[in-house]
């Protein structure tokens, strides 16, 4: 006999099927609408991300202050957090920008010298190996046609650069506006985070079934713990790596030690591949200065990377994430292909949350299965 609850389930299934069919037949429109909504909400999404990151040091500062009046402690911890944030940004700018400008000025003089030394080397190479010139003479090149092609590319490229510059200026203005709105929104979130958290929990308990609501809050708690641990560890690891490079390059008396150290510390926030940006920039700068310095820097880079990857990273970041190396590589690759640098950063803790949930579910079901059958596999138990 069909009960009222069965009828409700059937109605819910019918409604779900109709909605799924509508979305399936109009998926392009749905994606376009979702994209527009996300674009409109982007300042507030950015603000939520800023609030989450600032909340990590803010919690520790608030606990350290241990002020009985919550409002006073919250306001003071927020002010200290914002001062520290601005100080870190200013230090990075004041260190990197002057060093970068100085490097650009030096490159204006060193690049011509590098080209001349390269010409001398090539002339010597050609004089010692005349067969190279003979081979080059046998290559038929229409220099007039080549010159026309290069001229066309340069002329079209110039208009593209101008157009691109205008788009870039407009994009920077929009990004600064979104950041300003998001930063203000983040401050409001941090001031009233307990109230907002309580309201969200009430919504979950009221509008979701009890078991689903509890599971949702549990998943969000795991996500908050893993993401907080990941970003804390990643920032600490980046600072340690930057200091290691500054000290090592200074001891080896290599140029651009401070610039490269800060650059590597910033780019190391991008997991796995970030520090290699500093490798290419540093190697290029030192190659112009002295090829021998570039070789020493590359060797020092890989030595420090081995020390950092095998000793520091597993203890500082690895324990907080709990994700095997193969899944870290997969997360970085997928995140980079789908969302660029932001995806590379977010996909590691995201994968870790998914990995933790699946692992707990598999272990619970495996325990029930082995309890029924009495069969246990040591390899499965260890994994």
Residue range 215-273, pLDDT digits in tens: 888 888 888 888 888 888 888 888 888 889 989 999 998 888 888 888 888 888 777 67
Tell me what percent of the residues of the chain surpass a pLDDT of 70.
Answer: 75
Which of 222, 242, 186 has the alpha carbon at shortest distance from 321?
Answer: 222
Residue 90 in domain: yes
Residue 195 in domain: yes
Most confident of 68-77, 104-113, 178-187, 316-325: 178-187
**What total of structural domains would you count in the chain?**
1
Window from 95-99, 153-157, 184-188, 332-336 with minimum mean pLDDT: 153-157
Residue 75 in domain: yes
- What's the pLDDT tens digit per position in 281-328? 888 878 777 788 888 999 999 898 888 777 776 666 666 666 776 777
Residue 83 in domain: yes
Q: Do 185 and 44 contact (CB within 8 A), yes or no?
A: yes
* pLDDT (average), residues 348-368: 82
In this prediction the pTM is 0.69
* Per-chain mean pLDDT for the chain: 78
Window from 83-92, 204-213, 223-232, 311-320 with minimum mean pLDDT: 311-320
pLDDT of residue 83: 92
pLDDT of residue 335: 82
Residue 279 has pLDDT above 80, yes or no: yes
Q: For residues 348 and 353, what is the distance between their CA atoms, to the nearest angstrom?
A: 9
The alpha carbon of 32 is separated from its chain's Cα centroid by a whole number of angstroms, namely: 26
Residue 110: give the domain boundaries: 43-135+169-207
Residue 309 in domain: no
pLDDT of residue 299: 92
Window from 40-49, 95-104, 192-201 with minimum mean pLDDT: 95-104
pLDDT of residue 107: 66
Residue 273 in domain: no
Backbone angles phi, psi at 279, to 5 degrees: -60, -50
Tokens of 60: 């520790």
Q: Which residues contact 42 (CB under 8 A, 6 or more apart)?
A: 178
pLDDT of residue 322: 67
Residue 60 in domain: yes
Q: For residues 316 and 57, what is the distance between their CA atoms, to the nearest angstrom?
A: 16
Residue 174 in domain: yes
Residue 165 has pLDDT above 80, yes or no: no
- How many residues are listed for the chain in this entry? 383
């Amino acid at each position: 006999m069909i009960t009222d609850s069965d009828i409700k389930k059937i109605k819910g299934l019918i409604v779900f099927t109709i909605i799924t069919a509508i979305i399936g037949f109009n998926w392009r429109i749905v994606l376009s609408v979702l994209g527009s909504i996300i674009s409109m909400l982007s300042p507030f999404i950015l603000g939520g991300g800023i609030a989450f990151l600032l909340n990590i040091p803010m919690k520790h500062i608030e606990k350290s202050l241990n002020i009985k009046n919550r409002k006073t402690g919250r306001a003071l911890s927020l002010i200290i957090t914002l001062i520290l944030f601005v100080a870190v940004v200013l230090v990075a700018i004041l260190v990197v920008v002057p060093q970068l400008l100085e490097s650009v000025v030096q490159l204006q003089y060193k690049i011509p010298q590098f080209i001349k030394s390269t010409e001398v080397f090539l002339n010597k190479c050609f004089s010692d190996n005349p067969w190279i010139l003979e081979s080059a003479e046998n290559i038929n090149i229409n220099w007039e046609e080549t010159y026309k092609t290069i001229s066309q590319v340069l002329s079209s490229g110039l208009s593209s650069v101008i157009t691109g510059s205008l788009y870039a200026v407009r994009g920077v203005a929009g990004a600064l506006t979104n950041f300003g709105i998001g930063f203000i929104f983040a401050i409001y979130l941090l001031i009233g985070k307990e109230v907002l958290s309580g309201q969200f929990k009430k919504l979950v308990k009221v509008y979701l079934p009890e078991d689903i609501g509890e599971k949702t809050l549990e998943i969000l708690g795991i996500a908050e713990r893993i993401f907080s641990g990941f970003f804390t560890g990643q920032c600490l690891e980046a600072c340690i790596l930057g200091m290691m490079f500054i000290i090592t390059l200074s001891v080896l008396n290599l140029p651009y030690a401070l610039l490269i150290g800060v650059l590597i510390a910033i780019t190391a926030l991008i997991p796995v591949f970030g520090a290699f940006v500093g490798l290419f920039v540093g190697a290029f700068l030192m190659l112009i200065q002295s090829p021998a310095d570039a070789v020493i820097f590359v060797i020092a880079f890989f030595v420090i990377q081995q020390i950092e990857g095998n000793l520091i990273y597993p203890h500082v970041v690895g324990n907080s994430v709990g994700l095997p190396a193969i899944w870290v590589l997969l997360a970085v690759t997928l995140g980079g292909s789908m969302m660029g640098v932001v995806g590379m950063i977010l996909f590691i803790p995201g994968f870790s949350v998914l990995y933790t949930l699946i692992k707990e579910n598999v272990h619970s079901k495996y325990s029930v299965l082995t309890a029924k059958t009495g069969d246990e596999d040591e390899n499965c138990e260890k994994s």
